[in-house]
């Protein structure tokens, strides 16, 4: 059974992430979206809020589920029998970092875990969670970038 995990911060989930999720859901029998609960990053949304907004956003895709994890991704994967990581590549600037992580995950897992990269759809190439947070903090409409329920959660968070 081919299960893939798509890990990230998703703070918040954007149409760029959803594009990667939709496309990978046609390639694997099951896709697990893994929200890293990493306190060092000082996220805008709590893990529970991020899980909530992601679950709503993928509710129409039956083979996608959302989980949260902390600690090492590969430990979670080994414990749950998952051997493929999905990551998105937007630009060459993503590449250096992603290559390093993918190669070290492969090494540390003794070649049992591999990473599959999906290049971004061109209309989302510029999109990142941090850009969305920045716009939303100034009250700019972000409904071109994120689902409506996420835009509403951003409004509530920034009181605008």
Annotated catalytic sites, by residue? 17, 41, 90, 129
> What track of x and - describes contact with ligand ADP for positions 92 through 121 (by CB under 6 A)?
--x-------------------------x-
Q: Which range touches ligand ADP (CB under 6 A), out of 13-21, 70-78, 103-111, 132-140?
A: 13-21
β-bridge partners, 89: 119
Residue 86 near residue 24 (C-beta atoms within 8 A) = yes
Q: Is 12 near ligand ADP (CB under 6 A)? A: no
- Kindly tell me which residue out of 4, 5, 8, 53 binds ligand ADP, with binding defined by CB under 6 A: 8
Distance CA 125, CA 103 (A): 24
Residue 66 near residue 51 (C-beta atoms within 8 A) = yes
Distance CA 6, CA 84 (A): 9
Chain positions 117 to 156 lying near ligand ADP, rule: CB under 6 A, are: 120, 124, 127-129
β-bridge partners, 5: 32, 85
Distance CA 97, CA 83 (A): 20
- If the CB atoms of residues 123 and 141 are measured against ligand ADP, the closer one turns out to be 123
Q: Which residues bind ligand ADP (CB under 6 A)?
A: 8-10, 14, 16-17, 20, 87-88, 90, 94, 120, 124, 127-129
């Amino acid at each position: 059974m081919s299960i893939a995990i798509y890990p990230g911060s998703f703070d918040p989930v954007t149409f760029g992430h959803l594009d990667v999720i939709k496309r990978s859901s046609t390639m694997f029998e099951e896709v697990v979206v893994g929200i890293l609960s990493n306190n060092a990053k000082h996220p805008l949304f709590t893990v529970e809020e991020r899980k909530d907004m992601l679950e709503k956003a993928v509710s129409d895709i039956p083979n996608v589920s959302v989980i949260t994890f902390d600690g090492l991704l590969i430990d979670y994967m080994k414990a749950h029998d998952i051997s493929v990581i999905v990551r998105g590549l937007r630009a060459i600037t993503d590449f250096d970092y992603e290559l390093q992580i993918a190669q070290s995950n492969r090494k540390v897992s003794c070649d049992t875990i591999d990473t599959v990269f999906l290049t971004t759809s061109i209309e989302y190439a510029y999109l990142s969670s941090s850009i969305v947070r920045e716009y939303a903090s100034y009250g700019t409409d972000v409904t071109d970038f994120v689902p409506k329920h996420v835009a509403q959660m951003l409004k509530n968070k920034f009181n605008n």
